Structure 1
């Protein structure tokens, strides 16, 4: 099921509901022109699965995956010009393993690898 962001509620415990029930499916946010600019997948009200964002002009802004509310795997953000901005890798328990960042011109501006 896919619903619009304006049709869901976020409860105090950060769970997402739709029509009074914990929501399972995709929540999309649209630009004023109607383009999808964000998509988040939920399971029983908790972020679980793919999430992605796009600039209104269509370029990918960010993408990643959550497992029951925790960031897992690779999460990437991009600059508006399409070049990478950040890349974070997390293990299956949500622990950050590494982080890299780049300037808009592609120049590396920092990286961090978690030891042990």
Structure 2
């Protein structure tokens, strides 16, 4: 990574998929354009269970981004738009699926 936190490969900002492994297990896979996260972003727990999934544009979340507990139950769902006040809504659940919080930005 360079000072601007861009992924660099062979001296140039990287375009393509960046995979991260831990103890031989794929734990993240992110698409990059010119060294910046741009596209599908996914993470897994070491047992292969999906941990999070969403889309990033120019390094910022865009649209729906989901996160799961290790047992596969939804942990959070966030929705972001392209404005500077990116986060529009968020919901969180406990490991049993009980809704803990529900928040929506009031643009009115």
TM-score, normalised on structure 2? 0.93
Instruction: Decide which of 96, 100, 103 is 1:109's aligned counterpart.
Output: 100
1:71 alignment partner in structure 2: 61
Structure 1 segments, 4+ long, off by >2 Å, are: none
Describe how 1:7-26 pairs up with structure 2 within 5 A. 10-26=1-17
- Structure 2, gaps ≥5 residues long: none
Show structure 1 runs of 5+ residues with no match. 1-9
**Number of residues paired by the alignment?**
106
Aligned twin of 2:27: 37
CA root-mean-square deviation = 1.1
Deviations along 1:87-116, one digit per CA (max 9) or x if unpaired, are: 000113461110000000101110110011
Question: TM (normalized to structure 1)?
Answer: 0.87
